[in-house]
C-alpha cells in the first residue's frame, strides 16, 4: 500500500490525558501519513487528572517524534523551568527524618506536569472530541477496518491504533473479549492533589532541602511525594509556585470517602512525619481536592492484530503502577517503533522504500519488540509497587536496585538515538549561568552524588 492511500485511526487524546495518542499523531504527521484521532471526552477537569511525570531514558526518541520547534518547548514546561532538561539525582528520603536514603541518578531528563505535556503534544493536532469508540469491524477482504462510535458514526480506515489508556476498548477487540483484556487492580489507596500555599515562606521551606521533588518513604510503609508542578510567576515568586503532592498506602480503596475524609487520612499519616514532608502535607488547605487514582495493570500479551489492521500503544498496551516512573517512557518508545515500521510499510521516504514491508510485517515487528518489553516492565513495576510500600523491602525494590533505567535491551533505540543536550548537568554546572533556585538544586545534586554510586554500580 502507498502512503497516499493509507488512513490511520487513532483512539484517545483528551484534554489532559491521551499523550500517547497525540504523540502517535505527531509521528504520523511527520511521516506524511493521513490520520484521524478520536477522543471520548468532551472536556475534562484538569485538576482531577493532574500529576507530574519524569521523562528520562526515552527523551531522545521524543525529540525524534516531535517537530523541532515543539520539542524546544520541553524546557519551558518543566516542573522546574529554571533547570529544564538536566542530569541529576532524584532524592528518595526517609519520611520520618527527611534524611536521604539514596539519590537515583538520571541523565538528561526532566519532570513535566501532565497537562502541559499534553498541551505540547497536541500542537497542530486536530482532535475529534465526544467520540466514544464502541465497535471495530474488520473487512472480510483482509483490508481495512471500520470504527463505530456511540453517536452512530462509522469511520473506515486502513488500520486502527488503540491509544485509549489502561481500560482500552481496542484491547478488548485485540484480545477477543472484555475478560481477557481486563486490568487487575493494584491494591493501593493512591491520592493526588495540587496545591499552591500562596505564601513564599512556606513554599521556600518545603523546597529548602530538595528543591524540585522528593519521594519520602515511611517506616509505616506508605509513601509521600512532592514536586513543584509549575512556577506561574517565575522562580522569584515562590508564593505562586504550584505543587503536585501524592500519598499512597497498600490496602483496600474506600470508595465511599470524599475529598475531606481523604485529606484527614493524609494528615493523620503526615502528623508522624519529619520535615519537609510534615509541613508540606500539614499545610494543605482544608478545601484541597484530594483525588484518588485507580492504579491497575495488565501484563502485555500477544493479540490478534488482524494482519496489521489493529494495534495498541501506551497504557493501552502496558498499564502499570507508576512507582518506577516508566509508563510514559514506554509510551514514547512504542510510538517511535510503530511509526518507523509504518514508514517502511507505506514507503514514506526513500530509506524506508528500500526496506519496504507489508503492513502486517511492520505491525508484527513492532509488537514483537513491544509486547515482551511491556510485559517485563509491567511485572517489574508491580513488584516495585509492592516493595516500595513495605518498609522492610524497600532496599530490595527495583527502583533501589536499578534506578529509573529501563530493563536490559528496552532502551536500545533511545540509546542509539544519542543523548539530548540538557541545559545543565551534574558535575559540569559551575560554568553555567543559572538562577538561584537552580543553583540550590545543582548543589544538592553534587552533595547526593556519593549516594548514587550504589545504583550506578548495580544498574
Ligand X SMILES: Cc1cc2nc3c(=O)[nH]c(=O)nc-3n(C[C@H](O)[C@H](O)[C@H](O)COP(=O)(O)OP(=O)(O)OC[C@H]3O[C@@H](n4cnc5c(N)ncnc54)[C@H](O)[C@@H]3O)c2cc1C
Residue 328 engages ligand X in binding (rule: CB under 6 A): yes
Q: Which of positions 15-34 make contact with ligand X (CB under 6 A)? A: 17-21
Q: State how far the Cα of 91 lies from the Cα of 214, in Å rounded to an integer.
A: 5
Least distance (Å) between residue 432 CB and ligand X: 25
Stretch that binds ligand X, among 49-57, 181-189, 417-425, 428-436 (CB under 6 A): 49-57
> At CA 437, angle to CA 432 and CA 443, rounded to 5?
65
Per-residue burial over 312-345, b if 16 or more Cβ lie within 10 Å, else e, is bbbbbbbbbbbbbbbbbbbbbbbbbbbbbbbbbb
Q: Name which position in 165, 211, 341, 385 contacts ligand X (CB under 6 A).
A: 165
Q: Name which position in 310, 331, 346, 387 contacts ligand X (CB under 6 A).
A: 331
Q: Name which position in 182, 250, 293, 451 contacts ligand X (CB under 6 A).
A: 293
Residue 60 engages ligand X in binding (rule: CB under 6 A): no
Stretch that binds ligand X, among 46-54, 99-107, 200-208, 228-236 (CB under 6 A): 46-54
Stretch that binds ligand X, among 140-148, 213-221, 326-334, 390-398 (CB under 6 A): 326-334
96-135 mask for ligand X (x: CB under 6 A)? -----------------------------------xxx--
Contact between 136 and 147 under an 8 Å Cβ cutoff? The reply is: yes
Name the grid cell of 114: 501532565
The beta strand positions in 141-200, using DSSP E, are 145-149, 154-157, 159-162, 184-185, 188-195
Q: Which is nearer to ligand X, 165 or 374 (CB)?
A: 165
Three-state DSSP class for 7?
A: strand
Q: What sections of 160-207 are H helices per DSSP?
A: 169-175, 178-181, 200-206
Residue 266 engages ligand X in binding (rule: CB under 6 A): no
Least distance (Å) between residue 200 CB and ligand X: 27
> At CA 376, angle to CA 118 and CA 297, rounded to 5?
55
CA separation, residue 47 to residues 17, 52, 194, 288 (Å): 12, 12, 7, 11
Grid coordinates 487524546 are at which residue? Answer: 13
Q: Name which position in 326, 339, 384, 424 contacts ligand X (CB under 6 A).
A: 326
Please count the residues of this chain forming the interface with ligand X, following the rule CB under 6 A: 36
Residue 12 engages ligand X in binding (rule: CB under 6 A): yes
Between 19-31 and 114-121, two packed helices, what is the crossing angle to 10 degrees?
A: 20
Q: State how far the Cα of 199 lies from the Cα of 171, in Å rounded to an integer.
A: 46
Residue 325 engages ligand X in binding (rule: CB under 6 A): yes
Could you tell me which residues come within 8 angstroms of residue 437 by beta carbon, excluding any fewer than 6 positions away?
80, 82, 207, 211, 235
Q: Which is nearer to ligand X, 11 or 61 (CB)?
A: 11
Pick left, alpha or beta for residue 438 (phi over 0 → left; psi -120 to 50 → alpha; otherwise beta): alpha
Q: Name which position in 10, 14, 188, 217 contacts ligand X (CB under 6 A).
A: 14
Least distance (Å) between residue 192 CB and ligand X: 6
Q: Which is nearer to ligand X, 151 or 252 (CB)?
A: 151
Q: Which is nearer to ligand X, 305 or 329 (CB)?
A: 329
Q: Which of positions 62-91 make contact with ligand X (CB under 6 A)? A: none
Name the grid cell of 386: 509492592
Least distance (Å) between residue 371 CB and ligand X: 16
CA separation, residue 207 to residues 201, 202, 240, 275, 419 (Å): 10, 9, 13, 10, 29
Residue 284 engages ligand X in binding (rule: CB under 6 A): no
Residue 411 engages ligand X in binding (rule: CB under 6 A): no
Least distance (Å) between residue 237 CB and ligand X: 26
Q: Name which position in 322, 341, 374, 385 contacts ligand X (CB under 6 A).
A: 322
Q: Name which position in 327, 398, 403, 422 contacts ligand X (CB under 6 A).
A: 327
Residue 406 engages ligand X in binding (rule: CB under 6 A): no
Q: State how far the Cα of 170 lies from the Cα of 382, in Å rounded to an integer.
A: 23
Q: Which is nearer to ligand X, 13 or 273 (CB)?
A: 13
> At CA 22, angle to CA 370 and CA 319, rounded to 5?
40
Q: Which of positions 203-262 make contact with ligand X (CB under 6 A)? A: 246
Q: Name which position in 160, 163, 231, 438 contacts ligand X (CB under 6 A).
A: 163
Q: Name which position in 10, 37, 53, 231 contacts ligand X (CB under 6 A).
A: 53
Q: Name which position in 314, 341, 374, 403 contacts ligand X (CB under 6 A).
A: 314
CA separation, residue 295 to residues 254, 277, 332, 373, 452 (Å): 14, 23, 20, 20, 29
Stretch that binds ligand X, among 51-59, 177-185, 349-357, 372-380 (CB under 6 A): 51-59
Contact between 336 and 57 under an 8 Å Cβ cutoff? The reply is: no
Q: Is the peptide bond before 273 cis (omega within 30 degrees of 0)?
A: no
- Element (H or E) spanning 417, and its range? helix 412-417
Q: By the criterion CB under 6 A, which residues form the site for ligand X?
A: 11-14, 17-21, 38-41, 51, 53-54, 131-133, 163-166, 169, 192, 246, 293, 314-315, 322, 325-329, 331
Amino acid at each position: 500500500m502507498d502512503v497516499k492511500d493509507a488512513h490511520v485511526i487513532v483512539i484517545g487524546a483528551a484534554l489532559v490525558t491521551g499523550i500517547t495518542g497525540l504523540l502517535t499523531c505527531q509521528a504520523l504527521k511527520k511521516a506524511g501519513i493521513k490520520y484521524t484521532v478520536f477522543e471520548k471526552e468532551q472536556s475534562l477537569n484538569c485538576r482531577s487528572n493532574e500529576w507530574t511525570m519524569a521523562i528520562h531514558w526515552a527523551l531522545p526518541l521524543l525529540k525524534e517524534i516531535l517537530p523541532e520547534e515543539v520539542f524546544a518547548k520541553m524546557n519551558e514546561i518543566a516542573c522546574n523551568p529554571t533547570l529544564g532538561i538536566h542530569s541529576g539525582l532524584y532524592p528518595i528520603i526517609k519520611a520520618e527524618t527527611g534524611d536521604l536514603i539514596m539519590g537515583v541518578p538520571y541523565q538528561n531528563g526532566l519532570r513535566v506536569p501532565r497537562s502541559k505535556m499534553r498541551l505540547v503534544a497536541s500542537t497542530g493536532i486536530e482532535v475529534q472530541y465526544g467520540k466514544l469508540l464502541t465497535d471495530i469491524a474488520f473487512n472480510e477482504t483482509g483490508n481495512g477496518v471500520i470504527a463505530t462510535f456511540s453517536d452512530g458514526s462509522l469511520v473506515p480506515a486502513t488500520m486502527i491504533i488503540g491509544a485509549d489508556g489502561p481500560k482500552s476498548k481496542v484491547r478488548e477487540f485485540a484480545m477477543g473479549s472484555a475478560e481477557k483484556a481486563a486490568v487487575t487492580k493494584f491494591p493501593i489507596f493512591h491520592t493526588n492533589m495540587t496545591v499552591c500555599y500562596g505564601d513564599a515562606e512556606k513554599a521556600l521551606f518545603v523546597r529548602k532541602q530538595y528543591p524540585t521533588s522528593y519521594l519520602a518513604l515511611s517506616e509505616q510503609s506508605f509513601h509521600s511525594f512532592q514536586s513543584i508542578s509549575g512556577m506561574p510567576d517565575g522562580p522569584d515568586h515562590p508564593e505562586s509556585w504550584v505543587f503536585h503532592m501524592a500519598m499512597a498506602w497498600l490496602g483496600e480503596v474506600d470508595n465511599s470517602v470524599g475529598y475531606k475524609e481523604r485529606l484527614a487520612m493524609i494528615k493523620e499519616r503526615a502528623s508522624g512525619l519529619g520535615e519537609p514532608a510534615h509541613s508540606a502535607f500539614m499545610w494543605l488547605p482544608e478545601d484541597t481536592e484530594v483525588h484518588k487514582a485507580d492504579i491497575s495493570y495488565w501484563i502485555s500479551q500477544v493479540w490478534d492484530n488482524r494482519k496489521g489492521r489493529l494495534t495498541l500503544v501506551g497504557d493501552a498496551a502496558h498499564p502499570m503502577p507508576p512507582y518506577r516512573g516508566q509508563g510514559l517512557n514506554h509510551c514514547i518508545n512504542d510510538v517511535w517503533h510503530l511509526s518507523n515500521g509504518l514508514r517502511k510499510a507505506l514507503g514514506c521516504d526513500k530509506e524506508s522504500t528500500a526496506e519496504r514491508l507489508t503492513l502486517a510485517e511492520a505491525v508484527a515487528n513492532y509488537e514483537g519488540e513491544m509486547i515482551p518489553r511491556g510485559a517485563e516492565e509491567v511485572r517489574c513495576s508491580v513488584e516495585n509497587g509492592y516493595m516500595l510500600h513495605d518498609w522492610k523491602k524497600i532496599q530490595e525494590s527495583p527502583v533501589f536496585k536499578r534506578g529509573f533505567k529501563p530493563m536490559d535491551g528496552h532502551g536500545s533505540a533511545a540509546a542509539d538515538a544519542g543523548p539530548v543536550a540538557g541545559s545543565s548537568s551534574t558535575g559540569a554546572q559551575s560554568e553555567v549561568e543559572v538562577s538561584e533556585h537552580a543553583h540550590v538544586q545543582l548543589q544538592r545534586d553534587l552533595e547526593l552524588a556519593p549516594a548514587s554510586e550504589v545504583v550506578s554500580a548495580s544498574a
